[in-house]
Amino acid sequence: MIMPMHALAEANTNIALVKYWGKNDPTLNLPAVPSLSLTLDGLTTRTEVEFAPSLAADVLLLNSAETGGEPLAKVSRHLDRVALALVGTTERPRARVRTVNNFPTAAGLASSASAFAALTVAAAAALTGGAAAAAGEFEFDRGQLAILARQGSGSAARSLFGGLVVLGVGTPGQVHSAQASQLLASSDWPELRLVIGVVSERAKDTSSTLGMNHTAATSPYFAPFVAAAPLDLLTATQAIKARDLTRLGEVAERSALRMHASAMAADPGVIYLRGSTLEGLHAVRALRQRGVAAFFTCDAGPHPKALTTAADADAVAAALAAVPGVQRTLIARPGEGARVLPLSPEPA
Ligand code: PMV
């Protein structure tokens, strides 16, 4: 019998509360700062990888549409990377990769974090798991696969784990530096919520890699951002251990604003914030004035986001929904780490 080389995996995206921005080693994709994130339930990428000797080239189906160009090239490079690390060669059969986001890609929420985490786990399971992986049973070392996922996208390393997750700073030239690890499982602080205000995007953003490399190369505020990160990580870690939302939220808000300040001070400035993003920030702070524990964050895009609790999530979502330009809101709970699923008879 021919061993199946076919597996299905899913991963949730994550939101950084202490931001990763800047690389210590662009080739190995090693971060210049430590970061900390919350894995989000329900914002999920599901990816099926099938290695087939009959295929002449890798094939990518992204949300059911056959996709070439740079997305396919990135997937192929990542499959080579996983094959080299796990089976010692890039001489692998070509693969059919089907990947689906359960959240709207067009809204600009599609995340490289969930995408590279799911691709890494599915590829590892297909390459090394045999029939057990096809049946959804595959034991894997999350730390080892996080190192591979990180080389596709820094934030993807954190989506290997559920709950609250730390990604360490990288040492240049050392691929195994910048380890990811879980600080708290999703069930350890189940009341946490992340509210997202989905803003329509007219122009395509500068990618996070371009934005952070340009910031590191030209912003006088990049060095102070890097210098402040270890204390932010320490304070956030202590706040999480104490389940202290206010302290954690204050660090998250400051880390996001400092990341954006460093990007805006680049030459020319990298500006992800839109009017709706800033109005979202003010709406969150106005809620806080009224005693609601809510803390603003945002990433390399315009969507205002807020960290809060289950008790206040509806009020926070209503406040963000009232911001001009916010089209709708999502409320996410803490989610699980990446996992392998049994292959379904239908295509994933
Ligand atoms: O993983 P990347 O290369 O897409 O970079 C992520 C950068 C931020 O989302 C802005 C911050 C973070 O830590 O996730």
Provide the 10 A C-beta neighbour count for residue 300: 20
Nearest-CA residue for ligand 1 atom 6 is 155
Separation between Cα atoms, residue 21 and residue 209, nearest integer Å: 9
Identify the H or E element spanning 234.
Answer: helix 222-241
Ligand 1, pocket residues at CB < 6 Å:
16, 19-20, 35, 112, 153-155, 208-209, 299-300
pLDDT confidence of residue 293: 97
Give the count of alpha carbons within 13 A of 106, CB side only.
1
Q: How far is the CA of 186 from the centre of ligand 1 (A)?
A: 21
The string of pLDDT tens digits covering residues 209-228 is 999 999 999 999 999 999 99
Separation between Cα atoms, residue 259 and residue 224, nearest integer Å: 10
Lowest mean per-residue pLDDT among 114-118, 130-134, 202-206, 331-335: 202-206
pLDDT confidence of residue 202: 62
Nearest-CA residue for ligand 1 atom 9 is 299
Say what percent of the chain tops pLDDT 90: 92
Whether this model's pTM surpasses 0.85: yes
Identify the H or E element spanning 346.
Answer: none
Q: How far is the CA of 205 from the centre of ligand 1 (A)?
A: 13
| Cβ proximity of 215 and 19 under 8 Å | no
Ligand 1: nearest atom to the Cα of 35: 13
